[in-house]
Amino acid sequence: MLDPSRRIRIAVDAMGGDHGPEALIRGAVEALQTIDGDFDILIVGDEPAIWRILDEIRPGPLPIFSVHAQGQVEMDEKAPRALRGKPRSSIAVCTALVGSGRADALVSAGNTGAVVAASLLNLGRMPGIHRPAISATIPTSSGMCVILDVGANADCKPLNLYQFAHMGHLFAKLVLGIESPRVGLLNIGEEPTKGSALAQAAHQLLAADRERLNFVGNVEGRHIFAGEADVVVCDGFTGNVILKLAGSIGSVGSRMAGDIIRRSLVLRAGALLMKPALVSLKRRFNYEEYGGALLLGTRGTSVICHGRSSPRAIRNAIHVALRATRADLAGTIAQVLTEQELGAVRSMS
Amino acid sequence: MLDPSRRIRIAVDAMGGDHGPEALIRGAVEALQTIDGDFDILIVGDEPAIWRILDEIRPGPLPIFSVHAQGQVEMDEKAPRALRGKPRSSIAVCTALVGSGRADALVSAGNTGAVVAASLLNLGRMPGIHRPAISATIPTSSGMCVILDVGANADCKPLNLYQFAHMGHLFAKLVLGIESPRVGLLNIGEEPTKGSALAQAAHQLLAADRERLNFVGNVEGRHIFAGEADVVVCDGFTGNVILKLAGSIGSVGSRMAGDIIRRSLVLRAGALLMKPALVSLKRRFNYEEYGGALLLGTRGTSVICHGRSSPRAIRNAIHVALRATRADLAGTIAQVLTEQELGAVRSMS
């Protein structure tokens, strides 16, 4: 349990990301300037580079500190090997800071595989959790939807999906503030007997746990954007495909719209008047804005951002890391999922 | 092989679909009025109802004939049991007409499971094909993309995906007229070693067959709408989720846009000027317009339409059925996939 008298400290991996440390540092500064409450930010990376950027930005007196790291895991490197070869890389230092209690959470826009592997290595898996999951937030016509797993596990067992449901439920409740999140199982039909062997078995586990989980049954592809569940549970293969597809809709839609608009002057005039709405709509579909993806199931809080994250996206990710820390999400997951009732479920599968 | 001197005959299941026979019959009339070439349409269903609608429409002299059927498989019925209980249902009669050679292809907007089950029963599986697949066409920013399987097989083996790739390749080439279709494997990373056990094994089979297949490697969720492959191969679970999600984008996008536009008069004025473009964009994402989904791997041609299909969608589905018949798609699939080389591949898995 977090000591309420201690200031929260968020470690930011400045070296991950496609555009180098600047977006990360600008995002950290924006977070300190705009988010309520006291917290420190530790910028982890090549210190001379960090200082140069801070010198340019001149953010004034803010609780922002640098921690040196040597090198970084590149976006195309294989995570386990890269971590062995670069034990002082920025993501290794970030996770070590959280693992040793010198920071409470970390935010990285680096190689997702490296964030997962380093978190497992330096934070450790939560007792009782078989597999950690990455949970992302995507827009719906009525708000937001948490979807997990979006890529930590390409192959899953029914018990994994069952645990993802509980972790997603706690994330939606404690971090997003949804009182009784509607949890749905992604499937290809509404009846319990529909779908893959995995989905059918997971449905049974979830339906048997309705006392603790607001399980709304199967949800189909068309229900996701329609906002018919607050949490959608699936294997990491399907979830990753959906997340990347959803993230491409904004730019594909605007390219298609552009092709149509070019056909007439009237349409072009309309588009000019509507521009703020079109930009806003495109941004709605841009999941990068929504505060990154949270790795659930390790002893700590790791927020994973898109490599192309803007300072605004990094600021939002820091906000998610703060809320997860303040709500003690990781501790609550450990507590709920090690409760004795789960022993019975575990023995079923 | 099709006798070129014989007129093509398309059987249309008038009883399937959410809105009863009218949309189906109107679509059939529109097909006969607008599609080049000689062909007959057999409307299968309750004859008094069919005649009543034809009497209302009064399409003039067209080669449209009715075939009586008793009852229909409802949308929520379990297909195998329903077919046993209703051997004279409209989908049973349609598939029997094709199975006995009295029709060349069928179009149905009924229960998808029933179309698949009745096609397997009355047309039979193609020799050498382990599992039939449903292939659908979805819009991309540069054109169209064939995706299969979208729901016939929730669980797949690597060899199934390999055969889907060949069937999708032939569909894109012979029906859509793409000279050398780029075939991609849906996965969650670009490297061959990424993804689920299924995707990794399927990648190996496909990469070993580059002489016969323009295999472009793995494609991710974000590549689908970007048009980076003409054919995307995946298991029927993931494919079904994608298809239904893609089909919901138009209405979700327009609802989100509506919420934004309502905020100001200028935006509303812009929307009014842009209305034709917005309608056209929404229609781009409406996959129902694209001629339905084709069941591949049975001895015949079955086109499956959405239950809510408009007459225009039915007309397009009839067009696809005609093109598949004229190109002898089913025969070519049988020929290509029973070639001896595939024996070697089959023994690998």
Query: Under DSSP, is residue A224 helix (H, G, I), strand (E, B) or coil?
Result: helix
* C-beta separation of B286 from A256 below 8 A: no
Nearest residue in chain B measured CA to CA from A75: B189
Q: CB count, 10 Å around CB of B45?
A: 28
Please state the three-class secondary structure of chain B as a single string. Answer: CCCCCCCEEEEEECCCCCCCHHHHHHHHHHHHHHCCCCEEEEEEECHHHHHHHHHHHCCCCCCEEEEECCCCCCCCCCHHHHHHHCCCCHHHHHHHHHHCCCCCEEEECCCHHHHHHHHHHHCCECCCCCCCEEEEEEECCCCEEEEECCCCCCCCCHHHHHHHHHHHHHHHHHCCCCCCCCEEEECCCCCCCCCCHHHHHHHHHHHCCCCCCCEEEEECHHHHCCCCCCEEECCHHHHHHHHHHHHHHHHHHHHHHHHHHCCCHHHHHHHHHHHHHHHHHHHHCCHHHHCCEEEECECCEEEECCCCCCHHHHHHHHHHHHHHHHCCHHHHHHHHHCCHHHHHHHHHC
Contact call for B248 and A155, based on CB within 8 A: no
CA-to-CA dists, residue B62 to B23, B28, B41, angstroms: 17, 10, 9
Q: B151, B154, B185: which is closest to B295 by C-alpha?
A: B151
Model pLDDT, residue B261: 76
Q: Under an 8 A CB cutoff, do A188 and B236 touch?
A: yes
Q: Hey, is the C-beta of B247 within 8 angstroms of any chain A C-beta?
A: yes
Distance from CA of A289 to the nearest CA of B (A): 17
* Mutate which: B219, B249, B252, vs A, most A CBs within 10 A: B252
Indicate if the pLDDT at residue A348 is higher than 60.
no
Q: How far apart are CA B293 and CA B82, in angstroms?
A: 22
Q: With an 8 Å Cβ cutoff, is A348 touching chain B?
A: no
Partners of residue B267 in chain A, C-beta under 8 Å: 273-274, 276-277
Give pairs for A244-247: CB < 8 Å, separation 24+.
A244/B188, A244/B220, A244/B221, A244/B222, A245/B221, A245/B222, A245/B224, A245/B225, A245/B242, A245/B245, A245/B246, A246/A138, A246/A139, A246/A285, A246/A287, A246/B221, A246/B245, A247/A285, A247/A286, A247/A287, A247/A288, A247/A306, A247/B221, A247/B222
Predicted pLDDT at B4: 57
Report the residue from A195, A256, A274 with minimal CB separation from B154: A195
| Interchain CB contact of A244 with B (< 8 Å) | yes
pLDDT tens-digit readout, B299-311: 999 999 988 888 9
Q: How much of chain A is in helix, strand and coil states, percent to nearest 5?
A: 50, 15, 35
For range A31-51, the mean pLDDT: 93
| Chain A CA closest to residue B156 | A196
* Residue A247 touches chain B, beta carbons under 8 Å: yes
Check: CB of residue A27 under 8 Å from CB of residue A309.
Answer: yes
> Quick check: B348 contacting A, CB < 8 Å?
no
Show pLDDT as tens, one digit a residue, over chain B (349 residues): 455 567 899 999 999 878 789 999 999 999 999 998 889 999 999 999 999 999 998 888 899 999 999 988 887 788 888 888 888 999 999 999 999 999 999 999 988 889 999 999 999 998 889 999 999 998 888 888 999 999 999 999 999 999 999 999 999 999 999 999 999 999 998 888 889 999 999 999 999 998 889 999 999 998 998 889 999 999 999 999 999 888 887 777 777 777 777 777 887 877 777 777 777 777 776 666 666 899 999 999 999 998 888 898 999 999 999 999 999 999 999 888 877 455 545 555 5
Burial B68-97 (b: 16+ CB within 10 A, else e): ebebbbeeebebeebbeebeebbbbbbbbb
pLDDT for the residue numbered A60: 85
Q: How far is B86 from chain A (nearest CA, A)?
A: 22
Give yes or no for B195 touching A (CB within 8 A): yes
Averaged over A159-172, what is the pLDDT?
96
Encode pLDDT of A98-136 as tens digits.
Answer: 999 999 999 999 888 899 999 999 999 988 889 999 999
List the single residue in B with minimal CA-CA distance to A191: B76
* Cβ pairs bridging A and B (under 8 Å): 171
pLDDT confidence tier of residue A1, bands split at 50, 70 and 90: very low
* Contact between chains at B252 and A221 (C-beta distance less than 8 A): no
Chain A interface includes B106 (CB < 8 A):
no
Over its C-alpha atoms, chain A yields an Rg (Å, rounded) of: 21
Q: Residue B11 and residue B39: Cα distance in Å, rounded? A: 11
Asked whether the predicted pLDDT for residue A94 surpasses 60, the reply is yes
pLDDT at A346: 53
More confident: B165 or A86 = B165
Interatomic CA distance for residues A178 and B97, integer angstroms = 55
Residues of chain B neighbouring A201 (CB-CB closer than 8 A): none
Task: Name the minimum distance, in Å, from the CA of A250 to any CA of chain B.
Answer: 10
β-strand pairing of A301-304 with A8-13: unpaired
Which domains, from first to last, does chain A contain?
1-128+297-327 (3.40.718.10), 130-290 (3.40.718.10)
Give A-chain residues touching B253 at CB under 8 angstroms.
249, 253, 281
Which residue of chain A has the CA closest to B268? A274
Rounded CA-CA distance B212/B215 in Å is 9
User: Chain B contact for A240, CB < 8 A?
Assistant: yes
Contacts of A260 in chain B (CB under 8 A): 277, 280-281
C-beta neighbour count of A57 within 10 angstroms: 14
- Which residues of chain B from 16 to 55 reach within 8 Å of chain A, CB to CB? none
Average pLDDT over residues A285-300: 80
How many CA atoms lie less than 13 Å away from B29 in the CB half-sphere? Answer: 18
CB contact under 8 A, A196 and B281: no
Output B92 or A18, whichever has higher pLDDT.
B92
Contacts of residue A220, defined as CB under 8 A and 6 or more positions apart, other chains included, come to A186, A187, A188, A189, A190, B240, B241, B244
What digits encode the pLDDT tens for the residues B120-165?
999 999 888 999 999 999 888 888 899 999 999 999 999 999 999 9
Residue B132 pLDDT: 95
CA-to-CA distance for A231 and A144, rounded, in angstroms?
Answer: 9
Confidence at A290, pLDDT banded by 50, 70, 90: low
Contact by Cβ (8 Å): B135, B240: no
Mean pLDDT across the stretch A284-299?
79
**Is a pLDDT exceeding 80 seen at residue A193?**
yes
Using the beta-carbon criterion (under 8 Å), do B225 and A249 form an inter-chain contact? yes
The proportion of chain A whose per-residue pLDDT surpasses 70, expressed as a percent, equals 93
Q: Is A138 helix (H, G, I), strand (E, B) or coil?
A: strand
For residue A288, the 8-state DSSP code is G
Which of 252-281 (A) contact B at CB < 8 A?
252-253, 255-257, 260-261, 266-267, 269-277, 280-281
Q: Is the pLDDT of residue A340 over 50?
A: no
Interface probe with A: pick from B245, B259, B262, B265, most Cβ of A within 10 Å: B245
8 Å CB contact of B242 and A241 = yes
User: Given an 8 Å threshold on Cβ–Cβ distance, is A155 in contact with B196?
Assistant: yes
Among B151, B243, B260, beta carbon nearest to A277: B260
From the list B225, B260, B275, which residue is nearest A252 (CB)?
A: B225
Q: What is the ipTM of this complex?
A: 0.87
pLDDT-based confidence at residue A143 (cuts at 50, 70, 90): confident
Q: Do B245 and A221 touch (CB under 8 A)?
A: yes
**CA–CA dist B276, B283 (Å, integer):** 11
Which of the residue ranges A154-158, A246-250, B54-58 has the most confident prediction, judged by mean pLDDT?
A154-158
For residue A274, give the nearest of B186, B199, B270 by CB distance: B270
Closest residue in B to A186 (Cα) is: B241
Are the beta carbons of A195 and B237 separated by less than 8 Å?
Answer: yes
Q: Which of B57, B7, B3, B6 is nearest to B33 (CA)?
A: B57
Q: Is it the case that residue A144 has pLDDT exceeding 50?
A: yes
A256 interaction partners in chain B (CB closer than 8 Å): 139, 141, 281, 284
Quick one: average pLDDT of A252-278?
A: 77
Listed in order, strand segments (DSSP E) in A127-213 are 133-139, 144-148, 183-186
Which residue in A234, A244, A257 is closest to B277 by CB distance? Answer: A257
Q: How many angstroms separate the CA of residue A37 from the nearest CA in chain B?
A: 32
Cβ within 8 Å, pair A253-B281: yes
